[in-house]
Structure 1
Amino acid sequence: MTTSDMVGLRIKTVRRQRGLSQAQLAHPELSDSYVSLIESGKRTPTPAVLELLAQKLDCSLSYLVNGVTAEQMEDIELALGYARLALENGEVSEARTRFAELLTDNNLTGLTKLRQDTEFGLALATEAGGDLREASAILTRLRSEETTPERAVELAIALCRVYRDSERLTEAVEVGEQILRSHARPTWTDHLVELGATLLSAYLFRGDMLRAKQFAAELLNAADTLGTPRSIVAANWNASVVAESIGHGEEALAFAERALAVQSENGAPRNLARMRGAYGQLLLRVRPGQAAAARDVLTRATEELTQSSASTIDVARCRLELARAEIVLGSPAEAMVHIRAADQLVPDNVVALGTEGDLLVSRVQGALGNFAEAEISARAVQERLSRLPHSRRAAGTWYAAAETMEMLGDADGAVEAYQRAMACAGL
């Protein structure tokens, strides 16, 4: 049924409950034929006519428009607000439960926008809990529905991100390019720049360096034109990632520091925490002599992530970076604490991040002199990596695995890992 059909049916139902004929409902302001056309869904009443009919029928305008009373609407909006607040505060499990319970409310069925808002919230909570497969299913279903242009971009951002984190890089690129590379792409907005930033990260993970470099410049130009904090943050951060990936470390830090400064003044807690963690990671790689400062940044980021709507994957990634900082600082035991904590958070289907954890375990065990355990972890890395499709990220991990095996004295394993790294890089 269309919206007009539903409104007409409600008017007809309430009129009959009140024991009124169409002529009695119409007189004297409306014609009974017009009431008949409204009830049959052949005419869409204006807001003024709807308000008049609600008065005549002694019912709420909210019920005629939405199928629920004003009180029921208030209850739904309140429940949705509580679910969103739980997610923002990092209470992911409670948020997921609240969103799911709200979707069982029959009164939500006819409220398309509120129902879509609730499902989108459930998808974000599901992603935050690490269930990327279910999150992608919800987002895909929502994208098949008619929605506003702004919500369509929000859905694309979330789905592109989920696909990227699930190592489904081709699908991540397809989602972003469907909007951003179409002939009818709208004028740049904050949301489109954020979608572009997510697409850019998928390019980088896949190893499309030329496309990533060109797209980073395009996003910077768009952000300069918009001049908004959100676009400046997204564009500069991804310019940082591209610069670091091509060996321009100090330039990458400059872009990242600009993005972090703007984000600190204007950003949501989740995004600020994620960016702080990524900045700590970048600082550690570019300036290893400042490992202690990087550790401080990463420690703060981890605390902020656990108090926000960030996913378990975000927290796990930050924990692994803390482990790397401790390794550089010569504290392998402390590094192992962070690795074990990260292992509890990484979903089984996020293979690349789990592999990074195994690789760090191998390095820590080697540093502690536990060479047998180190070799077991190194072999686990090889087994996990063999399940991943070729990508720039996989190439980097294979290379790190080769270095670790070489450090452990496993020359044959190191040679094989170097060969795998070159194959993933297309060499």
Structure 2
Amino acid sequence: MTTSDLVGLRIKTVRRQRGLSQAQLAHPELSDSYVSLIESGKRTPTPAVLELLAQKLDCSLSYLVNGVTAEQMEDIELALGYARLAMENGEISEARTRFAELLANNNLTGLQSLRQDTELGLALASEACGDHVEAIAILNQLRQEDITSERRIEIAIALCRAYRDSERLTEAVQVGEEILGSAARPAWSDLLVELGATLLSAYLERGDLLRARQFAAELLNAADTLGTPRSTVAANWNAAYVASAAGHGDEALTFAERAMAVQAETGQPRNTARMRVALAQLHLRNRPGEAHIAREALRKAVAETSQTSVSTVDRARTMVELARAEIITGDIAEAAEHAADARALLPDSALALGAAANLLLGLAYTATGRLTEARHHVESVRDWLSPMPDTSRSASNWYATAQTMEQLGDEDRAVEAYQRALACAGL
């Protein structure tokens, strides 16, 4: 039914409940034929006529327009606000529960915009919890609806990211290119640059470095033209990863530090903490000889994440990277402690991080001669990695696992892990 049909049906239902004829409702301001057309959905009443009819029917205008009373609308908006607040505070499981409970509210059915807000919130909360299957299903359903152009881009960003993180890279690229590659692409905006940045990361994951470098330059030009903090951070940050993948370490850190400076000045503390962790990762990758600098940045990030509303997965990621830096700098006991803390925080769905945390524990225990414990953690890495699809990311994880197993003298399992690494690399 159309919106006009629903409004007409409500007017008709309340009129009958009040025991009024169409003529009685219409008199003296309106004609009974006009009321009949409204009730049949053949005419859309103006806001002034709707307000008049609400007064005559002694019901709320909100009910005629939306099918809910003003009190019910207030309850829905309050519940949505609480769900969003939980999400912003990093309480992702609670946020997911609140969004799901709100969607079960029958009063939300006729409120298209609020329902779409709630469904998008549930998709983002599910994604944050590691449930990419549910997030993708919800986002694809939303794409089929009548939505604004801005909402379409928001959904595309989340869907491209969810496909990318699920290693469904062809689909991730298709989602981004559907908007950015169309002849009717809108003018560059902050949202569109963010979509471009997400698409750029999918190109990188897919190994399409040439396309990534070309597109990174396009995004940087767009961000320079816009001159906004949001676009500057998104374009420079992803250009850093492209430069790093191309072997240009100094250029990568220049881009990343530029993004970090803008983020620290204008962004939310939670996102600043996340970016500090990622910057330290880049530092470790491109300047391993300066691991102590990355370690100090990560220690600062640990303090920041404890004071801001990041999720437990983000806190665990910080601990994993700090453990990695501690191993490189020789602080083995500290590395083991941080890796154990990370492992305790992680849900079962965080496969790559769970594998990394256990591998770092294996390395730390090997270095301190605790070989039995080391074997236990390294063997458990296989359980985390096995459900993951065969990708270049999985290949590097399997290769690191194989090397550690070889150090532990477990040659049979090392060979198996090397074979899995080769299979993931397509060899």
Whether TM exceeds 0.5 here: the answer is yes
Residue equivalent to 2:194: 194
Q: How far apart are 1:87 and its partner, in Å? A: 1.6
C-alpha distance 316-133 of structure 1, shift in aligned 2 (>3 A): farther
Q: How far apart are 1:41 and its partner, in Å? A: 0.5
Counterparts of 1:300 and 1:100, CA distance in 2: 35
Q: How far apart are 1:30 and its partner, in Å? A: 1.9
Residue equivalent to 1:110: 110
Counterparts of 2:49 and 2:243, CA distance in 1: 60
Residue equivalent to 1:340: 340
- Give 1:159-178 correspondences, 5 Å limit: 159-178=159-178
Deviates more, 1:415-424 or 1:85-94: 415-424
- Give 1:397-412 correspondences, 5 Å limit: 397-405=397-405, 407-408=407-408
Counterparts of 1:385 and 1:107, CA distance in 2: 43
Structure 2 counterpart of 1:9, one-letter code: L
Residue-by-residue CA offset, 1:185-242 (whole Å, 9 max, x unaligned):
2222211211121122222223222222222112111211222111111000000111
- Contact 1:276 1:297 (C-alpha < 8 Å) held by counterparts: yes
TM-score normalised by L of structure 1: 0.89
- Contact 2:167 2:391 (C-alpha < 8 Å) held by counterparts: no
- Give 1:222-241 correspondences, 5 Å limit: 222-241=222-241
Residue equivalent to 1:77: 77
- Give 1:195-214 correspondences, 5 Å limit: 195-214=195-214
Question: SS of 2:186's equivalent?
Answer: coil
Q: How far apart are 1:410 and its partner, in Å? A: 6.5
The number of aligned residues is: 427
Q: How far apart are 1:381 and its partner, in Å? A: 4.3
Counterparts of 1:169 and 1:350, CA distance in 2: 19
Residue-by-residue CA offset, 1:1-49 (whole Å, 9 max, x unaligned):
1111110111112222222221222223222111111100011112222
Question: SS of 1:100's equivalent?
Answer: helix
Q: How far apart are 1:62 and its partner, in Å? A: 1.4
Counterparts of 1:308 and 1:7, CA distance in 2: 45
Residue-by-residue CA offset, 1:72-110 (whole Å, 9 max, x unaligned):
212221221122112212222332332222223222121
Counterparts of 1:164 and 1:344, CA distance in 2: 26
- Contact 1:190 1:230 (C-alpha < 8 Å) held by counterparts: yes
Counterparts of 1:351 and 1:25, CA distance in 2: 63
Structure 2 counterpart of 1:43, one-letter code: R
C-alpha distance 189-336 of structure 1, shift in aligned 2 (>3 A): same
- Give 1:20-419 correspondences, 5 Å limit: 20-305=20-305, 310-375=310-375, 377-381=377-381, 385=385, 388-405=388-405, 407-408=407-408
C-alpha distance 194-282 of structure 1, shift in aligned 2 (>3 A): same
C-alpha distance 119-168 of structure 1, shift in aligned 2 (>3 A): same
Counterparts of 2:259 and 2:289, CA distance in 1: 23
- Contact 1:166 1:350 (C-alpha < 8 Å) held by counterparts: no
- Contact 2:284 2:290 (C-alpha < 8 Å) held by counterparts: yes
Deviates more, 1:394-403 or 1:175-184: 394-403
Counterparts of 1:329 and 1:24, CA distance in 2: 86
Question: SS of 1:38's equivalent?
Answer: helix
Counterparts of 2:303 and 2:82, CA distance in 1: 23
Counterparts of 1:259 and 1:335, CA distance in 2: 28
Structure 1 counterpart of 2:130, one-letter code: G
Deviates more, 1:166-175 or 1:320-329: 166-175
- Contact 1:90 1:307 (C-alpha < 8 Å) held by counterparts: no
Higher RCO, Cα 8 Å, sep 6+:
1
Counterparts of 2:201 and 2:242, CA distance in 1: 9
Counterparts of 1:208 and 1:390, CA distance in 2: 17
- Contact 1:346 1:354 (C-alpha < 8 Å) held by counterparts: yes
Residue-by-residue CA offset, 1:163-186 (whole Å, 9 max, x unaligned):
322333333233223322334322
Counterparts of 1:370 and 1:296, CA distance in 2: 27
Counterparts of 1:90 and 1:381, CA distance in 2: 27
- Contact 2:204 2:242 (C-alpha < 8 Å) held by counterparts: yes
Structure 1 counterpart of 2:149, one-letter code: P
Deviates more, 1:185-194 or 1:161-170: 161-170
Structure 1 counterpart of 2:221, one-letter code: N
Counterparts of 2:206 and 2:308, CA distance in 1: 29
Structure 1 counterpart of 2:260, one-letter code: L
Q: How far apart are 1:343 and its partner, in Å? A: 2.3
Please tell me the root mean square deviation across aligned C-alpha atoms, in Å.
2.7
Q: How far apart are 1:158 and its partner, in Å? A: 1.6
Counterparts of 2:28 and 2:154, CA distance in 1: 48
Identity %: 72
- Contact 1:264 1:272 (C-alpha < 8 Å) held by counterparts: yes
- Contact 1:165 1:350 (C-alpha < 8 Å) held by counterparts: no
For structure 1, the 5+ residue unaligned runs are: none
Q: How far apart are 1:399 and its partner, in Å? A: 4.3
Q: How far apart are 1:306 and its partner, in Å? A: 5.5
- Contact 1:92 1:309 (C-alpha < 8 Å) held by counterparts: no
Residue equivalent to 1:3: 3
Counterparts of 1:264 and 1:200, CA distance in 2: 23
Question: SS of 1:344's equivalent?
Answer: helix
Question: SS of 1:300's equivalent?
Answer: helix
Counterparts of 1:376 and 1:93, CA distance in 2: 30
Deviates more, 1:88-97 or 1:7-16: 88-97
- Contact 1:405 1:414 (C-alpha < 8 Å) held by counterparts: yes
- Contact 1:324 1:360 (C-alpha < 8 Å) held by counterparts: yes
Counterparts of 2:224 and 2:209, CA distance in 1: 23
Counterparts of 2:409 and 2:370, CA distance in 1: 13
